[in-house]
Amino acid sequence: MTSVPDRRSASALFLSPLPFLALSLLFGFLTWQAAVGGPSRRADERLARTVRDSRLPEGAAEFLADLGGIAVAVPVLLAAAAYAAWHARRAALPRWWLPPLAALIAMAAVPVLVVPLKEAVGRTGPPGMAGDGYYPSGHTATAAVAYGAAVLLLLPRLRGRRPRRALVAACVLLVASVGFALVRRGYHWPLDVAGSWCLGAALLLGLRAVSRSTRRSSARTPSHRSGPS
């Protein structure tokens, strides 16, 4: 009776590193292209001109780009982490503090990873932007991790597939809009944004693994409110 679940567990453990590996390989390729140039970088610059000529008003683009700033994105994550911690502690869940803490660590990892990469790659900015160090985009990575981590913390509190799918779709649309707006305003190249999407997704995969392990341990551990009455 236990052989099938065991095989499924072994298969899940074997397959789980594959998305992270794929993201790492893609991020490495994008970083290489941003650093040394080549066909991808030339296509990236043509795409940037197309996006800058889009019909999105500059005021709307500036507003969306600002949503990737620390002053906006991080407070959203802090509010979600506080709510998730309060809700889990109130329910007497084991290791209730772990997912919120992991989300904050993932957020703190963004500047730790992005700043050295900017210095190492040294990519010059779009026309009108002075200096170098534009790859990867810090605003894009901040938006991806802050809003994505907030969604991962809130998903277990929602009931039903439709609200969960709607929340995930809204987060994806928001993060994509921030990246598009940064290119539209001429703050970054599309390649800068794409690299940060890969980086942010990899950090969120780690956070998702932590959240799942906590939920599994909660399911195995009876709560103080359960059991015979």
CB 171 within 8 A of CB 147: yes
Asked if residue 73 has pLDDT above 60, the reply is yes
What distance in Å separates the CA atoms of residue 47 and residue 108, rounded to the nearest whole number?
31
Asked if residue 11 has pLDDT above 60, the reply is no
56's CB contacts (< 8 A; 6+ apart) are 180, 181, 184
Dump pLDDT digits (tens) for 110-146.
Answer: 999 999 999 999 999 999 999 999 999 999 999 999 9
pLDDT value, residue 8 = 46
Residue 111: Cβ-neighbour burial (10 angstroms; 0-12, 13-18, 19+): middle
Mean pLDDT of 39-52: 93
Question: Does the predicted TM-score (pTM) go above 0.85?
Answer: yes
Percentage of residues of the chain with pLDDT beyond 90: 76
Dump pLDDT digits (tens) for 136-173.
Answer: 999 999 999 999 999 999 999 999 999 999 999 999 99
Q: Helix, strand or coil for residue 108?
A: helix
* Closest alpha carbon to 103 in 215, 212, 206, 213: 206
pLDDT value, residue 226 = 40
DSSP letter at 154?
A: H
Domains of the chain: 16-220 (1.20.144)
What distance in Å separates the CA atoms of residue 201 and residue 190, rounded to the nearest whole number?
17
Produce one character per residue of 43-61: b if its CB has 16 or more CB atoms within 10 Å, e if not: ebeeebeebeeeeeeeeeb
Backbone angles phi, psi at 184, to 5 degrees: -60, -40
